[in-house]
Structure 1
Amino acid sequence: MLLHMAHHDAPMTSDQLAACLHTNAVVIRRTLAGLREQGYVCSVKGHGGGWQLCCELSKVSLLDIYRAVGAPPVFAMGHRTTNPACLVEQTVNGALDDAFNDAEALLVKRLGSVTLAELAADFSRRLDQCSRRSSR
């Protein structure tokens, strides 16, 4: 969503952003609220208003965005029972906990190393390549 905003010259409405992301504008507004609280976006009132970036892309990482939207669970898979009586289930849960914790730590580290500026540059490069191919 933020990359769409970065490559758009004017503020974007939640309806426009929802169309870009193939989702409901309510979902967009809910997400934008968390991003606004952190100062990443701001709203512009009036005719031609909407949402725009209010941050430097080079200073915002994917980890910052992940945290701004509430740090949702990384994995949907979980324990069937929180405190199982079965020793086999306890053993498996312990192994899964370790694996999930290791994977989440690796993902969080990676998210912290990628800035929105890097993503915007990659998008621009891909867009240029696509434009060159279509003009041939």
Structure 2
Amino acid sequence: MRLDRRLSRVLHALLHLDQMDGPATSELIAQMLQTNPAVVRRTMSGLRDAGIVLSIKGHGGGWSLMRPLDKITLYSIYQALGSPQLFAMGSDDEETDCLLAKAANAATSDALAAAKKQFELSLNCVTVAQLAEGFEEKTRASGER
């Protein structure tokens, strides 16, 4: 199963958008994320629909933040991305008549649901602004951006 890296990539892009004086084109974001501009547009459109970013068309246009980073939780971004599946695990044959298989499936499903709930609760406790805390200090110390 391919890893879904959209959450960390979008967080990276939002942190950069916050540092910019104007909108960033899909091409510029694609260069930052080492991906294709079409992938950026497709991914950012979900964030636009969720009211996290704004897209401005035409010359001088691009993507901008609609809200300050301290008003954007990691959970809101996760939801805007369609709440990607966390694990490559699942239940066995859902159509089984075997009571033992049903018990195994229920245990697996319950554990996965509990893990997803805990993950979502954790995401809801962190804002994108918190990721940037100490950024300037770290930048000066490392000499990079």
What's the TM-score once normalised by structure 2's chain length?
0.79
Alignment partner, residue 65 of structure 1: 77
CA contact (8 A) 1:6 1:120 kept: no
The one-letter code matched in structure 1 to 2:29 is L
CA contact (8 A) 2:91 2:109 kept: no
Q: Which runs of 4+ in 1 moved over 4 A?
A: none
Alignment partner, residue 56 of structure 2: 44
Alignment partner, residue 89 of structure 1: 101
- The number of equivalent residue pairs is 132
Corresponding position: 1:2 with 2:14: yes
The one-letter code matched in structure 1 to 2:114 is D
Report deviation, 1:125. 4.1
Corresponding position: 1:75 with 2:87: yes
Report deviation, 1:116. 0.9
CA contact (8 A) 1:11 1:51 kept: yes
Alignment partner, residue 14 of structure 1: 26
**Superposition RMSD in Å:** 2.0
The one-letter code matched in structure 2 to 1:19 is Q
Alignment partner, residue 139 of structure 2: 127
Report deviation, 1:126. 3.2
SS of corresponding position for 1:67: helix
Gaps of 5+ in 2: 1-12
The one-letter code matched in structure 1 to 2:112 is F
The one-letter code matched in structure 1 to 2:123 is L
CA contact (8 A) 2:23 2:64 kept: yes
Residue 87 to residue 65, structure 1, CA distance change in 2 (3 Å): same
Q: Choose from 43, 52, 57 the match for 1:31.
A: 43
Residue 122 to residue 87, structure 1, CA distance change in 2 (3 Å): farther
SS of corresponding position for 1:81: coil
* Distance (Å, rounded) in 1 between the aligned partners of 2:135 and 2:94: 42
CA contact (8 A) 1:40 1:55 kept: yes
Identity of aligned residues (%): 42
SS of corresponding position for 1:6: helix
Corresponding position: 1:53 with 2:65: yes
